[in-house]
Structure 1
């Protein structure tokens, strides 16, 4: 299946132990018997999968009569499973990639729900708060379903037994994403 991947997916299987080591509490890292080799030996299962996210590119148009309107581009992301949403601070790269269908998670939030509830929520609660008096207009330029590469790692060592989501682009732990997938906190 041909999909659009968010980021470059640089993190490989060999980098997972380093990523997990960086994400554990400092008190555990101080233990001299707990190191990357211990983590590597304790990895029971590691699976790469692709997590769906909606990307909405829009223009924020602030009218300033008698001056011309101020137009600013913005990029909104909405987690297509949990509904977690926000603004990208910078535009991440995307690329087309052929991926087995078994590695792709199914999106729960449809395009209709996206435009009816989630995009207006981001506009009201995150963008509009920067405009005190008159709220801006919006022009949606592009909407796309992209996939974030993640690693699901099950770790079982003498020191630690836990499951991790590791971001396939940055190598950081996505603990929040794992927690939100089990709750409906951000759903509208």
Structure 2
């Protein structure tokens, strides 16, 4: 199955222990016997999964009469499972890749829900607060589902037993995202 992948999907499996060690609590790092090799030996399973994310390209149009309106392009994301949402600080690359369908998570937020609820909430709560008096208008240019590559790794060592979720682009821990899958905190 061909997917649009968000980012460059650059983190390889052999690099995971380094990123997992980086994401450990400082109290665990104090133990001199715990290092990347111990984590590497403790890996029980590791699998790359693909998380659906809605990305929306839109224009923010701020009217400034008698001057012409100020038009600013913007790109937002909405996690298609938990509803977690925000603004992209810069435009990430999107590439097409062939992926096994068993590794793809299913989206629970539809395009209609995205446009009617989540996008409006994001505009009101995050973008509008930059405009003191008159709020801007919005013009949605494109909304599509892309997939964020994530490494799901189970580790069992003498020091800890934990399931890690590592971003396949940056190597950062995505524990927040893992916790949001189980809660309805960001759902509308």
**Which TM-score applies when normalising by structure 1?**
0.99
Extract structure 1 runs of 4+ deviating beyond 6 A.
none
Show structure 2 runs of 5+ residues with no match: none
- 1:12, distance to aligned residue in structure 2 (A): 1.1
Question: CA deviation digits over 1:20-69, x for unaligned, max 9?
Answer: 00000122112110000000010101011100000000000000000000
Tell me which residue corresponds to 2:116: 116
The DSSP-based 3-state class of the residue aligned with 1:10 is: coil
Q: Does 1:139 align with 2:133?
A: no
Match of 1:79 in 2: 79
2:4 maps to which residue? 4
Residue number in structure 2 paired with 1:92: 92
Q: C-alpha distance in 1, partners of 2:26/2:128?
A: 39
**Pairing 1:9-158 to 2, within 5 Å after superposition:** 9-158=9-158
- 2-side partners of 1:120 and 1:75: how far apart? 14
Q: Which residue of 2 is the match for residue 167 of structure 1?
A: 167
Report the counterpart of residue 177 of structure 1 in structure 2. Answer: 177
Query: What stretches of structure 1 of length at least 5 have no aligned partner?
Result: none
**Number of equivalences:** 188
The superposition leaves residues 60-80 of structure 1 with CA deviations (integer Å, 9 ceiling, x where unpaired) of 000000000000011010000
- TM-score with structure 2 setting the length: 0.99
CA distance in structure 1 between the aligned counterparts of 2:9 and 2:136, rounded to whole angstroms:
36
What per-residue deviation string (whole Å, max 9, x for no partner) do you get for residues 123-151 of structure 1?
A: 00000111111110000011110000001
